[in-house]
Amino acid sequence: MPLENLQIVSAQGAREGQTVVSLKGPLSIHTIFSFQNAMREESAPTVIVDFGGVPFIDSAGLGALVAANITAGKTNRKIGFAAMNTQVIALVEMTHLKKFFRIYPTVQDAEAALDSGVSKLI
């Protein structure tokens, strides 16, 4: 199997202080290091991770999400996850992590909710 790639693009969100980090490719043991580096470099008060281009994540990818969520909490920043597909949502639910994550159906929903303080839409 060829080595997997994860493309990461950061852009200004719709509101002041928000950054949208768009992922394209699997979030797996082969790609988590670039994701972790991108999250460490991000300094916006609110980060929305767009999963619209992520076909699947594995347990290492899930661990990277947990770490990003914990780091955001410790630094008084907000992080939300948007546009997760059914496989990713199923993994998050199966591991009982859904109650710890801010998960939204779309990036636009995340931008609006994180701006207003709503904790979760999915």
Q: Looking at the domain assignment, is residue 107 inside a domain?
A: yes
Q: Looking at the domain assignment, is residue 2 inside a domain?
A: no
> What CATH number is associated with residue 55?
3.30.750.24
Q: How many CB atoms lie within 10 A of CB 76?
A: 7
pLDDT tens, per residue, the chain with 122 residues: 455 799 999 999 999 999 999 999 999 999 999 999 999 999 999 999 999 999 999 999 999 999 999 999 999 999 999 999 999 999 999 999 999 999 999 999 999 999 855 444 44
Domain total of the chain: 1
Q: Looking at the domain assignment, is residue 103 inside a domain?
A: yes
Q: Looking at the domain assignment, is residue 122 inside a domain?
A: no
Q: What residue numbers bound the domain in which 88 lies?
A: 7-114
